């Protein structure tokens, strides 16, 4: 297999992608299994279940069609004259941008969930109930499909592979002008709009929390809900920070998309190639941050993941049961003797 030398930072990112894929899988299992912690049954974590699933799909797609393809790991599959050489580029490109837009929409939904929680704290689980949550998740998954089905069917949308002139082991991905314009502009606008919407929502949430904290400065208000039992301000601020950290990657992605579009407009191939190199880590951040932020910020998620592999309480119980059974057997034997 002809491999192109992978830079050290790309090796690190590739290794991190593998770890992230496992963590996302563990989180999905933790958030969906029937015996999960009752606090993880809230609609907030239901949204993150969908987001983790989307992140996992995008991670696999990005590693497969972008990183592995770029560094020669797919030369056995993508070769000149083969079916994948002519067809895979368009399918993977469309799916890549579809996944990104779904991630943008999921960020808006998570921000809206936080807003509903702050405004209707007492009965937010009744307002954002399971039925509405399912409808919302279905909408942001299906909504971008017509646009991408059109792109898949339109013969003017052209993508192709070519071998790099500097390194024959590297397979480059190219778009024609229409494809580049549609993917870059739509992705850029969706990213910017989702970031602006999220910023407005989060600023309003911060305003409401500060106002609520001021009104209740001399009162101890505790959260009696499905997520946590700590003070309202601290609880909402913690969840707010989780959401903010995850959505901030959209801004980085938007900046890269804007500069890439500028490079395409002036036909600066060198700038575009440099930006493509930079864009890989930025794109990684879209799906890579979620598991680490959830694990570091949520002790419940962290404990449940540990319990998937090691349950000390059950082990102690089983050991004690075994000891008890051995004692009873030995007593019976002594009686018989």
Number of neighbouring beta carbons within 10 Å of residue 288:
24
Paired strand residues for 160: 174
Whether the per-residue pLDDT at 220 is higher than 60: the answer is: no
Using a pLDDT cut of 90, give the percent of the chain over it: 8
pLDDT, position 213:
67
- pLDDT per residue as tens digits for the range 231-263: 444 555 666 676 777 667 777 777 776 676 677
Most confident of 6-10, 19-23, 254-258, 326-330: 19-23
What pTM value is reported for the model?
0.78
Structural domains of the chain sorted by starting position, each given as residue range(s) with its CATH number in brackets: 8-307 (1.20.1070.10)
Whether the per-residue pLDDT at 272 is higher than 60: the answer is: yes
- Name which of 224, 282, 234, 277 is nearest 255 in CA terms: 282
- pLDDT per residue as tens digits for the range 40-78: 888 888 888 898 999 899 888 888 888 888 777 888 888
| Residue 157 phi, psi dihedral angles, 5° rounding | -85, 105
- Name which of 90, 92, 87 is nearest 67 in CA terms: 92
Whether the per-residue pLDDT at 173 is higher than 70: the answer is: yes
- Name which of 254, 119, 145 is nearest 197 in CA terms: 254
pLDDT, position 223:
43
Whether the per-residue pLDDT at 308 is higher than 80: the answer is: yes
pLDDT, position 231:
47
Q: Comparing 81-85, 128-132, 210-214, 294-298, which segment has the lowest mean pLDDT? A: 210-214
């Amino acid at each position: 297999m002809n491999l192109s030398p992978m830079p050290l930072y790309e090796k690190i990112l590739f290794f991190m992608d593998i770890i992230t894929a496992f963590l996302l899988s563990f989180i999905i299992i933790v958030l969906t299994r029937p015996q999960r912690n009752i606090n993880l049954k809230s609609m907030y974590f239901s949204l993150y279940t969908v987001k983790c699933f989307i992140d996992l799909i995008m991670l696999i797609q990005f590693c497969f069609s972008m990183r592995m393809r770029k560094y020669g790991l797919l030369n056995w599959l993508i070769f000149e004259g083969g079916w994948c050489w002519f067809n895979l580029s368009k399918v993977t490109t469309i799916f890549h941008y579809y996944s990104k837009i779904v991630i943008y929409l999921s960020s808006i939904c998570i921000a809206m969930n936080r807003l509903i929680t702050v405004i209707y704290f007492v009965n937010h689980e009744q307002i954002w109930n399971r039925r509405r949550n399912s409808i919302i998740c279905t909408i942001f998954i299906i909504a971008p499909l017509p646009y991408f089905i059109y792109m898949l069917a339109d013969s003017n949308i052209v993508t192709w592979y070519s071998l790099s002139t500097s390194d024959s082991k590297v397979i480059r991905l190219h778009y024609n002008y229409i494809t580049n314009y549609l993917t870059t502009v739509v992705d850029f606008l969706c990213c910017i709009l989702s970031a602006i919407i999220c910023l407005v929502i989060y600023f309003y949430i911060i305003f409401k929390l500060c106002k609520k904290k001021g009104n209740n400065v001399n009162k101890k208000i505790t959260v009696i809900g499905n997520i946590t039992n700590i003070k309202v301000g601290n609880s909402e601020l913690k969840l707010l920070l989780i959401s903010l950290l995850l959505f901030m990657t959209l801004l980085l992605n938007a900046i890269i998309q804007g500069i890439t579009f500028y490079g395409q407009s002036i036909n600066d191939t060198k700038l575009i190639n440099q930006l493509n190199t930079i864009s890989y880590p930025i794109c990684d951040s879209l799906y890579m941050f979620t598991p680490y932020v959830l694990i570091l910020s949520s002790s419940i998620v962290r404990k449940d993941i540990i319990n998937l592999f090691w349950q000390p309480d059950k082990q102690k119980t089983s050991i004690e049961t075994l000891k008890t059974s051995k004692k009873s057997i030995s007593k019976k034997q002594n009686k018989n003797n």
